[in-house]
Structure 1
Amino acid sequence: MRSLLSIFIMILVVGNLQAQLNDYKYIIVPKKFDDFREENQHMTSTLVKYLFTQKGFNTVYDDAMPDDLNRNRCLGLLVKLDDNSSMFTTKTALVLLDCNGQEVFVTQEGRSKKKDYKASYNEAITKAFASFGTLAYSYSGKGETEEPVTISFKDDVKELKGKDTVQKPKLNKYQDPMVQQEATPEKQSYKDMKPVESEYGKAEEKAKDLTEQVATPEEQRYTTKEPMPSDMVKAEDMEGSKEKGPLTGQGLLYAQEIPNGYQLVDSSPKVVLKIFNTSVTDVYTAQSDNRTGVVYKKEGKWFYEYYVGEDLTVQELNIKF
């Protein structure tokens, strides 16, 4: 009985989705999804366009839209790739947005644990696309029968036939006599003649505030004299160092080259972490006295991932190579 009910619910969902999507003439695929730095990174745009085309949709890239879609953006649905991937699992879902940015449909989340990014995103996106099931798309033509909304400002500004037709407004009882303002097509001005509070007696207070200001991390980076990283700390000095917890408050870490990787040194100087090369660019295995993990670069920033018990911890690092 439950299986029959599940099948019935799935048929209703697919039928409702098909009725919704049939109202749209195009599926628009971005050449570069928001979560990626490059166009068609990991072949994601190519794959998404291919899958929608196989389902019978008229699929176009966002930089090659036809004339009718350019005139009426509401003829198409924009595909958004919702990427919730972690270091070891690729997790994606596909979101369809209308011309007002409203969600029309969101697929299930597809997952993959493959190590190769291209293969992993291919598997995850394909699993997410399975949400469209046995849907048979057929454009209803509804979008073309609805006229796009246009806004005209033709009658909003009346023609002024002469300067004599413009009169300066008289001051009424609700207007502030200490403010002079003029708003005409020829001149617009605003002048506040209210007395300004004197700064006398506040100089000492302001000076105190200025002396208590603390430089930002960016300012400290340029004013602090950086120690020379070369030969300052030897690799064997790592032996016997004891970490007391996460690398919180370490500030800028200097990468000193060692066999097969680098050692990260703080300004003490002290070696706080060793990282070792892997076959993947900007991904290193990491090792300290009391934990192991992974250091990787994402969106221009460095992160350190490691487990504390069964909990995965992620910490941002400031590394200078």
Structure 2
Amino acid sequence: MIACLVLVNTLLGTAQESLNGYKYVVVPEKFDFLKSEDLYQINSLTKFLLNKEGFVAFLEGELPEEAVYNPCMVLRANVLNDSNMFTTKMKVTLSNCYNQVLFTSEEGRSKEKDYQKAYHEALRDAFQSFKTIKYSYNETISKSKPEQIKIVKEVPIQSVAVVPSEEAVVMTEHTLYAQPTATGFQLVDMSPKLVMKLYRTSVKDVFIAEKDGMNGLFYRSGNEWYFEYYEADQLKKYSISVKF
């Protein structure tokens, strides 16, 4: 029993430390299981409860300029709905800019029949887990993160080339073209061959990217677009020419 308590406390401490390095939390205006924005005021309630627990939470479109230009200082909140016809069941997750889930709440439940009452009760119940974290933003932790990142190389994806080394990179021949999808865009070459999938985030011009089984960030800085991802614990960054 003592060993279990020590393990639980250790895990909670690790979760708390990892969350404390993030200054803001963004709440989407619509969760996937809802038919419209802020239906039953679930998104607004999520924002309210996050602020109540000490976070600085915003709905999409409300983020301060600092957060827009520094997306990796922002956590993304999500509410998962696993309800059945008898019980409303919800969990809350917090993810970082690389779509890694850093925290998942315990399942909140409600037996209420009215949808709004049931969702609100289950959501508040799920937020009881947040009381074990006691979040408090730590600027020292936040500032230490970039120092741990080593950028291996930064090369433009402009012409076909293979770097003859253990870190070989195959680059595309042509400018990529963006085609709209339900969740963002897909980038294709002139074939047209699918090169990359982009998924919208709450931050303008910042996407979750998927390319050749790798996940990373695709974002605009000035007039340039960049793709960043981790490989063997090292951050790689590429400049990509895209026509939207």
TM range (shorter): 0.5 to 0.7
Structure 2 residue aligned with 1:125: 123
2:18 is matched with 20
Higher relative contact order (CA 8 A, sep 6+): 2
Identity %: 33
Check if 1:143 corresponds to 2:176.
Answer: no
Match of 1:97 in 2: 95
Secondary structure of residue in 2 paired with 1:79: strand
Structure with greater Cα Rg: 1
- Trace 1:99-248 onto structure 2 (pairs within 5 A): 99-141=97-139, 142-144=141-143, 146=146, 153=156
1:74 Cα offset (Å): 0.6
1:171-200 CA-to-partner distances (Å, cap 9, x unmatched) read: xxxxxxxxxxxx99xxxx99xxxxxxxxxx
Sort the Cα spacing of 1:152 and 1:26 in 2 relative to 1 into closer, same or farther, 3 A. farther
Q: 1:60 to 1:152 in 2, by over 3 A?
A: farther
SS in 2 for 1:85: coil
Distance 2:25 2:39 in 1: 19
Cα displacement string for residues 68-96 of structure 1 (whole angstroms, at most 9, x for unaligned residues): 11111110110111111122321111111
In structure 2, how many angstroms separate the alpha carbons of the residues matched to 1:62 and 1:6? 39
Aligned to 2:38: 40
User: Which is worse superposed, 140-149 or 13-22?
Assistant: 140-149
Q: Residues 57 and 151 of structure 1: is their aligned pair in 2 closer, same or farther, counting only changes over 3 Å?
A: farther
C-alpha distance in 1 between matches for 2:51 and 2:114: 25
Following superposition, the deviation at residue 43 of structure 1 comes to: 1.4
Q: Secondary structure at the match of 1:70?
A: helix
Equivalent in the alignment of 2:57: 59
Residues 2-43 of structure 1 deviation map (CA, whole Å, 9 limit, x = unaligned): 3x5554343223222111110111111111111111111111
Within 5 A, what are the aligned runs for 1:262-277? Answer: none
Conserved in 1, the CA contact under 8 Å of 2:27 and 2:76?
yes
Structure 2, unaligned stretches of length 5 or more? Answer: 160-172, 175-189, 192-244
Shift of 1:151: 5.8
Q: Which amino acid aligns with 1:114?
A: E
Alpha-carbon distance between aligned partners in 1 of 2:52 and 2:105, rounded to the nearest angstrom: 17
Deviations 1:97-127 (A, max 9, x none): 1111111111111111101111101111111
Provide closer, same or farther for how the CA distance between residues 151 and 54 of structure 1 changes in structure 2, counting only shifts above 3 A.
farther
Give, in whole Å, the separation in 2 of the partners of 1:56 and 1:18: 12
Q: What residue is the counterpart of 1:303 in the other structure?
A: none
The CA distance in 2 between the partners of 1:151 and 1:81, in whole Å, is: 36
3-state secondary structure, aligned to 1:105: strand
1:84 aligns with 2:72: no
CA distance in 2, matches of 1:32, 1:156: 37
**Change in CA separation of 1:152 and 1:53 when aligned onto 2, cut-off 3 Å:** farther
Deviation, structure 1 residue 63: 1.4
1:53 CA drift (Å): 0.6
| TM-aligned CA deviation for residue 143 of structure 1 | 3.1
Distance in 2 between residues matched to 1:129 and 1:10, nearest whole Å:
18
Q: Is the 8 A contact 1:78 1:97 kept in 2?
A: yes
How far is the alpha carbon of 1:144 from its aligned partner? 4.3
When normalised by structure 2's length, the TM-score is 0.57
For the aligned residue pairs, the C-alpha RMSD in angstroms reads 3.0
* Mapped contact 1:75–1:144 kept (Cα < 8 A): no
Contact 2:53/2:131 (8 A) holds in 1:
no
CA distance in 2, matches of 1:61, 1:151: 33
CA distance in 2, matches of 1:7, 1:53: 28
Conservation of the 8 A alpha-carbon contact between 1:32 and 1:40: yes
Letter in 1 for 2:89: K
Q: Secondary structure at the match of 2:85?
A: coil
Distance in 1, Cα, partners of 2:52 & 2:8? 21
Query: Equivalents in 2 of 1:151, 1:140: separation in Å?
Result: 30
CA distance in 1, matches of 2:106, 2:135: 19
- Say whether the 8 Å CA contact 2:89–2:122 is kept in structure 1: yes
Tell me which amino acid in the other structure corresponds to 2:96. D
